[in-house]
Amino acid sequence: MSQASTIRGQEILNNPARNKETAFTMTERQSLGLEGLLPPTVENIDRQLERVQTQLAAKPNDLERYIYLMSLAARNETLFYHTLMSDPARFVPIVYDPTVADACLTFGHIYRGSAGMYLTRDMKGRFKKILRNWPVKDVRFICVSTGGRILGLGDIGANGMGIPIGKLQLYTACAGVPPEALLPVLLDIGTTNAALRADPLYLGLRELPPDEAEVDLISEAFIEAATDVFPGVCIHFEDWKGTDAMRLLARYRDKVLCYNDDIQGTAAIAVAGLTTALQIKNETFADQRVLFLGAGSAGIGIASMIVSAMVEAGLGEAEARERIVLIDVNGLIETSRTDLNEWQKPFAHEAKPTKDLLEVVRTFKPTILIGVSTIGGAFTEEVVREMAKLNERPVIFPLSNPTNKAECTAEQAYTWTKGKALYAAGVQFPDFEYQGKSYHPGQANNFYIFPAIGLAVYATRPARITDDMFITAAAATADQVGPSAREHGMLFPLQANILETEVTTATRVAEHIFDSGQATVERPENIRAWIEGLLYKPVYKEL
């Protein structure tokens, strides 16, 4: 008999994967030693959901709702996911972006209990032993962060643990990946954030991060340990410092099953939105000129995937790169710069040095403007009006988050372009009415992509994750935006149907994995039905 089947009484109530709270039947209460430990009324999960909704409605803000939902996850996992999946458009912004940004900033102050694992740099020689402390042995995904570049917040060290926790919760809530297969990890290498190191309630190492060589040694030890303790596990890199992120992805992508959502997922969702926008404009990627404000891991990742889309549309790779211009904190990425990293150099062009975004818009004449700068308001009225002057339907994607980091709001973009902009942001802005027409701004959020990639990988067990899988996911996402939605400026599917959307995308990705010979399981006759049979469902099981 398994240990899980022998636990009784309070042990069951303390086990979030088995706890049903007031939904235990009278028979279960008698057989499991729960009599007297619960109120006498037996409720179903929908009645419990009513209570959750009532308590959430009484909270003063979304951060308090986040705290409540994390506490619910820690005591009753099934009810937590039943809540999220009952109304994803409402709850995803609470458990993830934008509320998770506030949660991460105050993580040590709102800490209620452990979720996931914390590995510190001094544990490097013992990673395998420590990872074996995790109670689940068949872990299929590890989302790991150093907290080195969280959203637009910068280096927040161990406070960044909210991101791996939230990302993996979306694997389940948005794509039905079973939660027992998921492990959030904070790889604590220290933080450059002096304020956090001085905060008495900060929970991480109060040390500066090591040099790049030591980071690489720590990362190598972690990956070796994780793939040994959990054979076949997929490593999801999340919110590492930009140069670390690009370097480690390049090093490991052809060696282990891994991906970096900030690079590949962000690129895929941007390409998905651009695909829809260009379909509305009846243009192709070969017709575009793309200007980026921001040239970190996200910007380079998106630019590289746009190059692939342009090549697919008929351009040569060099010609495609000529149609993409980037600006970073030090100015235009151009050939006289001596501070460019190896990923930026391929996008450096012969041009006059400048830091003036408006000047670059006027000289380069972009059709698409993308912001990944984390500089709130950087797309000024002058810049946006110039885009509208150059283009009948300017494509404007201020992708930085949280909300106060967005380069411009939806209201600004639609007003300054007189309703002509094809707009998507990294956060969800409210609907906006301009001259009698209602616009529904898009949210280019990675949760349309990475949970679907996760579900497809969970099902097909490929040895590696390739960019082709992300390009397939981008196309599948764009294909699910119908004509009526596009009329209202929507560039992404409705969040209310996120599970259906993700299953459709995952099916397309799984088909690609089978077609390309990358799957390590037998191909089923009906891939979608097979995937649907693997989905986690937030319902109570009989004990």
What residues act catalytically? 96, 167
Number of Cβ within a 10 Å radius of residue 537 = 11
Torsion angle, alpha carbons of 472, 476, 479, 485, to 10 = -130
The residue to which tokens 């905060």 are assigned: 199
The region, left, alpha or beta by phi > 0 then psi within -120 to 50, assigned to residue 489 is: left
CA 74 to chain centre: 22
Rg (CA), the chain: 24
Structure tokens at 263: 């690079």
At 87, give phi and psi (nearest 5°).
Answer: -160, 75
For residues 524 and 519, give the distance between their C-alpha atoms in angstroms, rounded to a whole number: 11
For residues 41 and 23, give the distance between their C-alpha atoms in angstroms, rounded to a whole number: 9
For residues 273 and 423, give the distance between their C-alpha atoms in angstroms, rounded to a whole number: 9
For residues 266 and 450, give the distance between their C-alpha atoms in angstroms, rounded to a whole number: 9
At 332, give phi and psi (nearest 5°).
Answer: -60, 140
Instruction: Compute CA distances 146 → 21, 184, 266, whole Å.
Output: 35, 11, 18
The secondary structure of 229-252, three-state, reads: HCCCCEEEECCCCHHHHHHHHHHH
For residues 277 and 47, give the distance between their C-alpha atoms in angstroms, rounded to a whole number: 42
Burial of 351 (0-12, 13-18, 19+ CB in 10 A): middle
32 three-class SS: coil
For residues 8 and 92, give the distance between their C-alpha atoms in angstroms, rounded to a whole number: 34
Burial of 398 (0-12, 13-18, 19+ CB in 10 A): buried
Structure tokens at 20: 């049903």
